[in-house]
C-alpha cells in the first residue's frame, strides 16, 4: 500500500458514499484527513462528517470534521484554514462533492442545471483555488477530482451531470500543465462502473446489473495511489478506478 504518513488530505464531499470511503482509505494509508462537507446532522440521506471522522479516529487514524459548502467561497476558505490550523498544512485534495441530475436537457429545470454547475464544477474550482497555495508551500502534492465515465458515453445523450463533470476534466487536465513546475500532480478519477451511493439511489439513478456495480472501496484504493503522486509522477490524466496510474498522458 502507498504510504501517506505525514501527509494531510482535504476531502470535499466526504460525509457519505465515495467521499467517505476515500477519506477512510487515505487515513488507513497514514494521512491526516479533513472530512469536509455540509452535512453535520443526519437528514434524508445517512451519513455526516462527524460520523466519518469518528470512524477514522476509532480505527487509530487522525481526522477532523470540517463543515464546508463548496459553492460558498467563504465557507471553503474557512474550512481550509481550519484544516491548516489543525494539521499544519495540506498536501492532498480530493474534490468529490457532487449532485446528480440525469434527466434529459429538454425537461431539466434551470435550477437543476445551475445546481449541477455550482456544486460539480464551481465547487471543484473553489476548493482547488483555496488549497493550491498550501500545496505549493509544502513543495508539491496531489489534486484529485472525482468525475464519471458518463463523460465518454455520448451515444446516450446529454444531461447536466455529465456536462458538469466533463468541464471538471478539462479544468484539471489543463491545470496540470500550470502546476507541474510547482511539483503538483493534477488528475481526475472516475469509477469504472457504477458506485451505488446514497445520492445515486436517492436521485433515482435506476437499477444497475450486478456486473456493472463496484464498491466505493475501489475508488478509495485508486485515490490512495493518485494521492501519492506529485508533479514528477502521474499528472494531467483521467484515470479509471479499476486500472489507476495506467494512463500516463493527458487525453
Identify the structural domains of the chain with CATH numbers, from first to last.
8-240 (3.40.50.720)
Q: Please give the Cα distance from 122 to 176 (Å, whole number).
A: 18
> What residues act catalytically?
161
Task: Give backbone dihedrals phi and psi of 48, rounded to 5 degrees, phi first.
Answer: -140, 160
pLDDT digits (tens), the chain, 251 positions: 679 999 999 999 999 989 999 999 999 999 999 999 998 877 777 789 999 999 999 999 999 999 999 999 999 999 999 999 999 999 999 999 999 888 899 999 999 999 999 999 999 999 999 999 999 999 999 999 999 887 777 777 789 999 999 999 999 999 999 999 999 999 999 987 666 566 555 555 556 666 666 687 888 999 999 999 999 999 999 998 887 665 544 43
b/e map of 124-145 (b: 16 or more CB within 10 Å)? bbbbbebbbebbeebebbbbbb
Q: Please give the Cα distance from 171 to 84 (Å, whole number).
A: 25
pTM for the whole structure = 0.90
Q: Please give the Cα distance from 36 to 30 (Å, whole number).
A: 18
Amino acid at each position: 500500500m502507498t504510504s501517506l504518513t505525514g501527509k494531510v488530505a482535504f476531502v470535499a464531499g466526504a460525509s457519505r458514499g465515495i467521499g467517505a470511503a476515500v477519506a477512510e482509505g487515505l487515513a488507513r494509508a497514514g494521512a491526516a484527513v479533513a472530512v469536509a462537507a455540509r452535512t453535520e446532522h443526519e437528514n434524508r440521506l445517512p451519513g455526516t462528517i462527524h460520523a466519518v471522522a469518528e470512524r477514522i479516529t476509532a480505527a487509530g487514524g487522525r481526522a477532523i470534521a470540517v463543515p464546508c459548502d463548496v459553492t460558498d467561497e467563504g465557507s471553503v476558505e474557512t474550512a481550509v484554514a481550519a484544516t491548516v490550523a489543525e494539521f499544519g498544512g495540506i498536501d492532498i485534495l480530493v474534490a468529490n462533492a457532487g449532485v446528480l441530475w440525469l434527466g434529459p436537457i429538454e425537461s431539466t429545470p434551470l435550477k437543476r442545471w445551475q445546481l449541477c454547475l455550482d456544486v460539480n464544477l464551481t465547487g471543484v474550482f473553489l476548493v482547488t483555488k483555496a488549497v493550491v497555495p498550501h500545496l505549493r508551500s509544502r513543495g508539491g502534492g496531489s489534486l484529485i477530482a472525482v468525475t464519471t465515465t458518463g463523460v465518454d458515453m455520448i451515444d446516450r445523450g446529454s444531461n447536466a451531470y455529465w456536462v458538469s463533470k466533463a468541464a471538471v476534466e478539462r479544468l484539471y487536465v489543463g491545470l496540470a500543465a500550470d502546476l507541474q513546475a510547482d511539483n503538483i500532480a493534477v488528475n481526475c478519477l472516475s469509477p469504472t462502473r457504477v458506485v451505488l451511493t446514497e445520492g445515486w439511489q436517492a436521485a433515482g439513478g435506476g437499477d444497475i446489473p450486478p456486473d456493472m456495480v463496484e464498491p466505493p472501496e475501489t475508488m478509495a484504493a485508486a485515490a490512495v495511489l493518485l494521492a501519492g503522486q506529485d508533479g514528477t509522477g502521474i499528472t494531467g490524466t483521467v484515470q479509471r478506478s479499476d486500472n489507476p496510474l495506467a494512463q500516463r498522458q493527458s487525453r
